[in-house]
Chain A
Amino acid sequence: AQTVTQSQPEMSVQEAETVTLSCTYDTSESNYYLFWYKQPPSRQMILVIRQEAYKQQNATENRFSVNFQKAAKSFSLKISDSQLGDTAMYFCAFMKHVRGSTLGRLYFGRGTQLTVWP
């Protein structure tokens, strides 16, 4: 079974500063994907960034980047130049890579509520 753990229920950061959200996971799979989703008060789950486990290079998307440590099973999200609109619940998620299959189940952590203040 796959488990995803986010040890920080809440975090806050001042606008324009940098913040890092932590995520660890447990799996016996060798091929998989990791994601960070954000859920603002509108409730829609929005994909922030995705990492393929077979890629050593850390994924980046504008102000968002990850630190993927496969051996340590760690997948942290760094948000640079934080903006008020980044305030949201952030979920770390895991998906198995199943060759030839159409299974796309996500395993989620419990989330980290990030508040960006002026």
Chain B
Amino acid sequence: KAGVTQTPRYLIKTRGQQVTLSCSPISGHRSVSWYQQTPGQGLQFLFEYFSETQRNKGNFPGRFSGRQFSNSRSEMNVSTLELGDSALYLCASSLTGTNSPLHFGNGTRLTVT
């Protein structure tokens, strides 16, 4: 069974631009969550989706948004990029969310210049 797939693996963007990251969960998994990883803040929860609905959201500004499609694939969008948005963005999927282990992808490394 294929794992969680994140695309692209690397992105370089300029301050002020916007970016869209994609995540394809493990087949059969209906919950997708996103995390931001930086050296300074560690791993921080962005949001979680289940059945196309956002179920939980972390403490990030409105520039960070996401969505989930009917096939459980998810995208996250960051608008008006800032230098501090440079990070590794990790996507994880699970069968139902709670009580189910999260399986992570390899992440997308975003660099904002």
Contacts and interface: CB of A to CB of B under 8 A. Distances in A.
Which of B35, B42, B58: most chain A CB closer than 10 A? B42
B98 A44 contact: no
B27 interface: no
Contacts of A44: 104-107
A109 B101 CA distance: 17
Contact of B55 (A91, A97, A103): A103
| The 9 residue pairs across chains A and B that have the minimum distance between CB atoms | A104-B97, A45-B104, A102-B97, A108-B43, A102-B50, A44-B106, A104-B98, A43-B107, A110-B42
A49 to B, nearest CB: 10
B13 interface: no
A102 B99 CA distance: 8
A84 B6 CA distance: 27
Contact of B94 (A46, A91, A104, A107): A104
Interface string B27-46: 00001010100000011010
B34 to A, nearest CB: 11
Interface in A97-118: 97-98, 101-111
